Amino acid sequence: MLFKNNSLNLFFAFLGGLFLLFLVAPLLNLMLAASPAKLFETASDPVVSKSIGLSLTMAAVATFFSALLAVPFAWLMARSKFRLKHLVSGLIDLPMMIPHSAAGIALLGVINRESAFGQFASNLGIDFIDRPAGIAVAMAFVSVPYLFNASYNAFSGVPLRTEHAALNLGASPIKVFFRISLPLAWKGVLNGLIMMFARGMSEFGAVIIIAYNPFTTPVLIFDRFNAFGLKNAQGISALFILISLVVFIGLRLITKPSEDVRN
Amino acid sequence: MLEIKNLQKSFPGFSFGPVDLKIDQGSHYVLLGPSGSGKSLLLELIAGFQKASFGEISLNGNNLLQLPPHKRGIAMVFQRPALFQHLSVAQNIAFPMKATKVSEREIRKITFELAEQFSIEPLLKRRPASLSGGEAQRVSLARALAMKPSLIMLDEPLSSLDVQLRTQIRRYLLSLNKEGLTMLHVTHDYEEALRLSSHVGIIQNGTIIQTGKPEVVFRNPASAFVAELSGIRNYFKVRLENLPGQSNKIASINGLAIKLYSDSLSSDGFILINEDQIILSTEIHQSSAQNNFTGKIVTYTKRPVGNEVEIDIGIRIFAHISDESLNRMTLKPEMQVAVAFKLAAVRFLEL
């Protein structure tokens, strides 16, 4: 239908072409600018490889701990009706809406070494500023709404009567959550985990405020660009995009459910 | 025995109850009411999915309101089978047993026995998404029975099925009830109530307005609402007999032989005679009607349109006639009348 010889369709297809070009051209240009030899050379740089390792690890840590808090809460929200529900949903979306540097500043106000929470964490041996823990917190702060929203939608799609049926058949509420609700919502939750991980590892604005050092790859790209210019930053950018692609395609393949359990 | 006392639940704009109800062991209690009357809410209150505002619910002496939903021991079958789509049919049936201390070996044995009982053995490895409506409802029943409930609640279990599948599931329900399983069944379908119930209740705006044996409730509706909901009052439990060489059949009731068309293969069921298609006359006429009887008028009652005349022809039947006919024929109680109706006025409902 899209390619029917209809002038409106043709016009929309033309607009779509411009849109796709806008998305693909800069990435393609970047990949073409970086030769395989240059990519290899960039990858061999220990600072680069360390930053990639840090970005991936902290994104995974942020996703894991956020999941423990956000996924059960998403279920609770999906099952609750209360007057201020829209307000709570809006609050959760807030970190996505505000400039990420501002999010970083807001976060810094709470976790800096002089703050009550910062001191409390410091007494427990956890420091955030210029530490991997701070990077994970910054990543989690700005990317957890993706996980929450995907999980919320997935749980909303699980029929309430299915959970009622499980309760009725003698399963306790916690068993119903782990054996019925979560498996039925798993595909959506998994998408949320992947989106959060992806958004987290690419985070720049909030991370640079909390931890300029140690370098995550987005901060390193910025640092190299500032110090050595565009050409130097292109290699590492291309390499990170390539790694992101490999990671996501890999994750999608590994975690692809054999069938849609909710049909 | 399930006993409900003064059960109430308030929502903004709707209040349920007070409801008092007793369901004896082994009975099939059908609660009949239109949608929005609160019948599904009653099941949810009993199951514990909704919290009662006031009242008591006890099952065999145990106060259910003090127990969380998963400890109430009452099975529920939903209108659309709430099967767990990520589990196989066998895992669905085994689900309630996993919450108990039954051994894996015993679970497998019971699962297979239930599958046999409901003719679903070939489906055990399948996922619910691949089942037909009737198969899914049978799995749902098997799963409910796996928890060995002392009471099973049925929330319009037949309404999402087509006619053939309804007959099949209805037979399972009848045989389970015969085996002693107590049932609380809600529906808006009068015929379903007629076919299955040992006791019926009529619910309107959150209150049970009449309850009793079906023949009492349907023949003596306590209000116009009950009469309208129950529809046809001329219904009789019968066993059909074939007429040699004819497509017509005969239903015998109290020595009366009522002729009807039926292509049903089953012989046990109910006949319904449409009140509007019964002709009363003061003399016997030759007509095309094949059912001709004589009887005495017992009483007549004014209805919103016309009158309902009760006639004793060996059985009590009701005829609907206009004011004009009533006056012209000067009908009155104790008067002898001829009663005629065509074969097509009689409908057979198989069990």
How many angstroms separate the CA of residue B84 from the nearest CA in chain A?
Answer: 7
Q: Is B80 in contact with A261 (Cβ distance < 8 A)?
A: no
Does the beta carbon of A178 lie under 8 angstroms from any beta carbon of chain B? no
What local confidence, expressed as pLDDT, does residue A261 receive? 43
Interface membership of A157 toward B (CB under 8 Å) = no
Tokens of A185: 């919502």
Question: Would an 8 Å CB–CB cutoff place B82 in contact with chain A?
Answer: yes
Specify the pLDDT at position A50. Answer: 94
Query: Is A55 a member of any domain?
Result: yes
Judged by DSSP in three states, A15 sits in helix
**What is this structure's pTM?**
0.80
Contacts of A165 in chain B (CB under 8 A): 76, 78, 82-84
Mean pLDDT on B175-179: 90
Range of lowest pLDDT (A24-33, A245-254, B30-39, B183-192)? A245-254
With a CB-CB cutoff of 8 Å, which residues 17-56 of chain B face chain A? Answer: 44, 47-49
Please indicate, yes or no, if residue A63 is contained in any of the structural domains.
Answer: yes
ipTM of the complex: 0.79
Task: Choose the closest CB to B129 out of A162, A168, A263.
Answer: A263
A9 is a domain residue: no
Residue A102 lies in a domain: yes
pLDDT at A41 over 90: no
Q: Would you state the pLDDT for residue A257?
A: 57
Whether A232 has a pLDDT exceeding 60, the answer reads yes
Residue at A251 is within a domain: yes
- In which residue are the tokens 């590892």 written? A201
pLDDT at site B151: 92
How does pLDDT run across B218-249, given as a tens digit for each residue?
877 777 677 777 667 788 888 888 877 777 88
| A252 near B CB under 8 A | no
Q: Confidence band (pLDDT; 50, 70, 90) for A42? A: confident
> What pLDDT, on a 0 to 100 scale, did the predictor assign at position B236?
85
Report the C-alpha gap between B245 and B187 in whole angstroms: 39
DSSP A170: T
The minimum CA-CA distance between B201 and chain A, rounded to whole Å, is 24
Is A28 inside a domain boundary?
Answer: no
Per-residue model confidence (pLDDT) at position A3: 55
Read off the pLDDT of residues A117-175 as tens digits, 9 standing for 90 and up.
988 988 888 888 889 999 999 999 999 999 999 999 999 999 999 999 999 999 999 99
SS in 3 state form for chain B?
A: CEEEEEEEEEECCEEEEEEEEEECCCCEEEEECCCCCCHHHHHHHHHCCCCCCEEEEEECCEEHHHCCHHHCCEEEECCCCCCCCCCCHHHHHHHHHHCCCCCHHHHHHHHHHHHHHCCCHHHCCCCHHHCCHHHHHHHHHHHHHHCCCCEEEEECCCCCCCHHHHHHHHHHHHHHHHCCCEEEEEECCHHHHHHHCCEEEEEECCEEEEEECHHHHHHCCCCHHHHHHHCCCCEEEEEEEECCCCCEEEEEECCEEEEEECCCCCCEEEEEECHHHCEEECCCCCCCCCEEEEEEEEEEEECCCCEEEEEECCCEEEEEECHHHHHHCCCCCCCEEEEEECHHHEEEEEC
The tokens for B245 are: 């060489």
Where along chain B do its domains lie? 2-230, 235-350
The mean of the pLDDT values for chain B is 88
Restricting to A residues 179-238, those with a Cβ less than 8 Å away from any Cβ of B are 180, 183-184, 186
Predicted confidence at residue B231, as pLDDT, reads: 66
pLDDT reported for residue B57? 94
Q: Span B147-159, mean pLDDT? A: 90
Number of domains in chain A: 1
Across the interface, do A165 and B70 touch by the CB < 8 Å criterion?
Answer: no
Confidence of residue A64 (pLDDT cuts 50, 70, 90): very high
**What CATH number does domain B235-350 carry, 2.40.50.100, 1.20.1250.10, 3.40.30.10, 3.40.50.360?**
2.40.50.100
Residues of A in contact with B107 (CB under 8 A): none
- Contact B112/A at CB under 8 A: no
Closest approach of chain A CAs to the CA of B269, in angstroms? Answer: 33
**Which residue of chain B comes nearest to A160, CA vs CA?**
B82
Residue A55, pLDDT score: 96
pLDDT digits (tens, 9 = 90+) for B112-130: 999 998 889 999 999 999 9
List the CATH number of the domain containing A53.
1.10.3720.10
- B63 min Cα distance to partner chain A (Å): 16
pLDDT of residue A1: 54
Query: pLDDT category, A255, cuts 50, 70, 90?
Result: low
Residue B276 scores a pLDDT above 50 = yes
The residue of chain A nearest to residue B148, with distances taken between CA atoms, is A169
Q: Measured between alpha carbons, how far is B254 from B267 in angstroms, rounded to an integer?
A: 17
Q: Is residue A15 part of a domain?
A: no
Mean of pLDDT over chain A = 90
Average pLDDT score over residue span A10-22: 95
Q: Do A169 and B85 touch (CB under 8 A)?
A: no
B2-230: CATH class: alpha beta
- Residues of chain B with pLDDT > 90, as a percent, come to 47
Residue numbers of the domain that contains A123 = 35-255
Establish if A262 touches chain B: CB-CB under 8 angstroms. Answer: yes
- Model confidence at A15, pLDDT cuts 50, 70, 90, reads very high
